[in-house]
A and B are shown apart, each in its own frame.
Chain A
Amino acid sequence: MLEAFLISTIAMATPILLAALGELLVEESGIINVGIEGAMLAGAFFALSGVYFTGSIAVGLTCGIAAATAINAMLGVLLINLAVNQVVAGTALNIFAAGITGVFYRKFFGITGKAFIVSPLHALAIGPLARIPFFGPMLFDQSPLVYLAFLLVPVFAWLIRRTRYGLRVRAAGERPEAADALGLGVYALRWQALIVSGVLSGLAGAFLTLAYANTFVENISAGRGFVALAVVILGQRNSWGLAAASLLFGAAMALQFGLQALGTAVPYQLFLALPYALTLIVLAFFGGQARDPSALGIPYIRN
Chain B
Amino acid sequence: MLEAKCITRRFGRTLALDGVNFSARVGEIQALLGENGAGKTTLMKVLTGGVRPDAGAVELDGSPLPLGSPDAALRAGIAAVHQSPMLFERFSWEENLALGGFGRDGGGFGLQQIDLHAVVAKARALTHHLGFELPPPGAIIADRSVAERVRLEVLRALSFDPRVLILDEPTGVLAPNELTAFLDLLRRLRGEGRMVVLITHKLAEARAVADRITVLRGGRLVAETTPAESDESELARLMIGKVTIPPEQQVAPLANPATLLEIENLTYRSAGVTILDGISLRLGAGEIAGVAGVDGNGQAELVEVLAGARKATSGWFGVRGSDGSSMAVIPQDRDLDGLILEMALWENFLLPQPLRERMTRRGWLDVARAMELCRAALGAFRIRAAGPEALASSLSGGNRQRLEVARALTQNPRVIVAHNVTRGLDLVATADVHRTLLEFAADGGAVLLISSDLDELLAIASRLLVISRGKIHPTEPEDRSPERLGLLMAGRWSE
Which residues of A line the B interface, CB within 8 A? 159, 162-168, 170-171, 174-175, 177-185, 294, 303
Contact = CB atoms under 8 A, between A and B. Distances in A.
B424 interface: no
A178 B88 contact: yes
19 contacts: A162-B113, A164-B103, A164-B110, A164-B112, A164-B114, A167-B95, A170-B91, A174-B90, A178-B87, A178-B88, A180-B50, A180-B70, A181-B48, A182-B70, A182-B74, A183-B74, A184-B99, A294-B90, A303-B51
Interface string B78-97: 00101000111111000100
A175 B111 contact: no
Nearest to A183: B71
B400 interface: no
Contact of A165 (B49, B100, B109): B109
Nearest to B51: A303
B196 interface: no
B212 interface: no
User: 6 nearest interchain CB pairs?
Assistant: A183-B71, A165-B110, A178-B86, A164-B110, A183-B70, A174-B88
A170 B90 CA distance: 10
B446 interface: no
Contacts of B71: 183, 185
Given A178-B87, A183-B69, A183-B70, A163 B95 contact: no
B463 to A, nearest CB: 39
B70 A163 contact: no
Nearest to A164: B110
A166 B72 CA distance: 22
B90 A164 contact: no
B45 interface: yes
Contacts of B114: 162-164, 166-167
Given A171-B99, A181-B70, A185-B71, A163 B90 contact: no
Contact of B98 (A167, A177, A181, A294): A167
Contact of B111 (A164, A170, A180, A182): A164
Interface in B97-141: 98-100, 103, 109-114
Nearest to B52: A303
B432 to A, nearest CB: 30
Interface in B34-55: 45, 48-51
B64 to A, nearest CB: 18
Contacts of A167: 95, 98-99, 103, 114
Contacts of A164: 98, 103, 110-114
B209 to A, nearest CB: 25
A175 B89 contact: yes
Contacts of A180: 50, 70
Contacts of A294: 89-90
B: interface residue count bin: 20 to 34
Nearest to A185: B71
Contacts of B75: 183
B492 to A, nearest CB: 33
A183 B48 CA distance: 10
A55 B82 CA distance: 59
A177 B85 CA distance: 10
B112 A175 contact: no
Listed residue (B48, B73, B80, B86) with the most chain A CB atoms within 10 angstroms of its CB: B86
Contacts of A177: 86
A163 B86 contact: no
A171 B103 CA distance: 13
A167 B97 CA distance: 11
A181 B160 CA distance: 13
Given A171-B99, A294-B89, 10 more contacts: A163-B110, A165-B111, A167-B98, A167-B99, A174-B90, A177-B86, A182-B99, A183-B49, A183-B70, A303-B51
Listed residue (A166, A175, A184, A185) with the most chain B CB atoms within 10 angstroms of its CB: A175
B157 to A, nearest CB: 10
Given A167-B95, A167-B103, A181 B50 contact: yes
A263 B74 CA distance: 68
Nearest to B153: A178
A165 B50 CA distance: 22
A171 B86 CA distance: 11
A165 B111 CA distance: 6
A171 B113 CA distance: 16
A168 B113 CA distance: 12
Nearest to B95: A167
Contacts of A174: 88-91
B123 to A, nearest CB: 16
B125 to A, nearest CB: 20
Contacts of A171: 88, 91, 99
Listed residue (B70, B98, B99) with the most chain A CB atoms within 10 angstroms of its CB: B99
Contacts of A166: 114
Nearest to A180: B70
Nearest to B100: A182
Nearest to B84: A177
A274 B147 CA distance: 53
Contacts of B69: 183
A125 to B, nearest CB: 32
Contacts of A175: 86-89
Nearest to B112: A164
Contacts of A165: 109-111
Contacts of B80: 181
A213 to B, nearest CB: 36
Contact of A168 (B49, B51, B86, B110): B110
B76 to A, nearest CB: 11
A171 to B, nearest CB: 5
Nearest to B104: A164
Contacts of B95: 167
Given A162-B113, A164-B112, A303 B89 contact: no
Contacts of B72: 183
A163 B89 contact: no
B99 to A, nearest CB: 5
Contacts of B90: 174, 294
A20 to B, nearest CB: 22
Contacts of A179: 99
A179 B74 CA distance: 13
Interface string B328-354: 000000000000000000000000000
Contacts of B103: 164, 167
A184 B74 CA distance: 11
A199 B99 CA distance: 28
Contacts of A184: 99
A94 to B, nearest CB: 28
